[in-house]
Amino acid sequence: MIDIAAAAVDLGGVRVVDDVDLHVPVGTWTMLIGPNGAGKTTLLRAVAGLVDHAGTVRVDGVDLAALGARARARLLALVPQDPLLPPEMTVSEYTLLGRTAHLGFLGRTGARDAEVVRESLVRLGLLGLADRALGSMSGGERQRAVLARALAQQAPVLLLDEPTTSLDVGRQQDVLDLVATLQTERGLTVLGAMHDLTLAGQYADRLALIDGGRVIAHGRPDQVLLEPLIAHHYRARVRVENVDGAPVVLPARAASPR
């Protein structure tokens, strides 16, 4: 579904993404993992068409470089790392922004748009909050509003950039459960970036470890979440335990002499 070939991005003369090839099959979920500054977000932004890049990104065989913003928005929905939420905008108005690429001449909203917005709000349990201002909502609710907006885009590909930062562990699971449900229900293809390795491994079908702008390892979570790999690339002391068949990455404090 998503085919990234020889992607490279230079930012301010520094090569941030370097010759990345990555294939995300239709209906699957791939999480990019890697240390700060590894190039995860930049790779996602390149896929979303927000930074200039070398190489090609294809979705469903279509080269994204050939598409305008509107056509691209019908293929890819982005949940950004730090969304700008106008505090006075209501949840339903915000969700309707997801319909931008579908609206008619001069931004006319049709019955179909209203229906999709309503469906998205229902799906994310936000219908009761439809007329609430974004500025008055909790972090978890806002993240659901951002997901509702992305859902209203009705794009087959969902890009998630650190969707769970600043959420407590319960809200993190809420958001990831929702994405997992949507992935199965609607056959979405998901490409995300995430810092929590255990959660990434529990939800994604595949992980891609990125460091220095390159893909270091790519495969099932148990093939990527390996102690020596994580320890080396994150320069971290970790233990990886197998809990109920899934890898759990535990940070370990260095033994201190007493």
How far apart (Å, rounded) are the C-alpha atoms in residues 255 and 199?
26
- CB atoms closer than 10 angstroms to residue 131: 9
Contact status: 35 vs other proteins (CB under 8 A): no
Six token digits for residue 58: 């294809």
Shortest Å, Cβ 241 to other proteins: 32
Whether the CB-CB separation of 190 and 207 falls below 8 Å is answered with no
Contact status: 142 vs other proteins (CB under 8 A): yes
Shortest Å, Cβ 38 to other proteins: 20
Six token digits for residue 31: 């999480």
Interface pick for other proteins out of 98, 156, 213, 247 (rule CB under 8 A):
98
The window from 21-29, 64-72, 219-227, 242-250 that contacts other proteins (CB under 8 A) reads 64-72
Per-residue contact string for residues 143-182; x = within reach of other proteins by CB under 8 A:
----------x-----------------------------
Per-residue contact string for residues 40-59; x = within reach of other proteins by CB under 8 A:
-----x--xxx---------
How far apart (Å, rounded) are the C-alpha atoms in residues 147 and 175?
9
The window from 117-125, 175-183, 217-225, 246-254 that contacts other proteins (CB under 8 A) reads 117-125
Contact status: 192 vs other proteins (CB under 8 A): no
Please work out, in degrees rounded to the nearest 5, the angle formed at the alpha carbon of residue 214 by the alpha carbons of 254 and 221. 60
Helix (H, G, I), strand (E, B) or coil at 255: coil
Element (H, E) at 210: strand 206-211
How far apart (Å, rounded) are the C-alpha atoms in residues 168 and 186?
27
Contact status: 23 vs other proteins (CB under 8 A): no
Per-residue contact string for residues 202-231; x = within reach of other proteins by CB under 8 A:
------------------------------
Contact status: 128 vs other proteins (CB under 8 A): yes
Is residue 195 classed exposed, middle or buried when 0-12, 13-18 and 19+ CB atoms within 10 A define those classes?
Answer: middle
Q: Which is nearer to other proteins, 69 or 254 (CB)?
A: 69
In the Cβ-directed half-sphere of 13, how many Cα atoms lie within 13 Å?
0
* Residue at token pair 């990886």: 240
Contact status: 103 vs other proteins (CB under 8 A): yes
How far apart (Å, rounded) are the C-alpha atoms in residues 32 and 155?
20
Contacting residues toward other proteins, per CB under 8 A: 45, 48-50, 68-74, 76-78, 80, 83-90, 92-94, 96-98, 100-101, 103, 106-107, 109, 114, 117-118, 121-122, 125-131, 134-142, 153
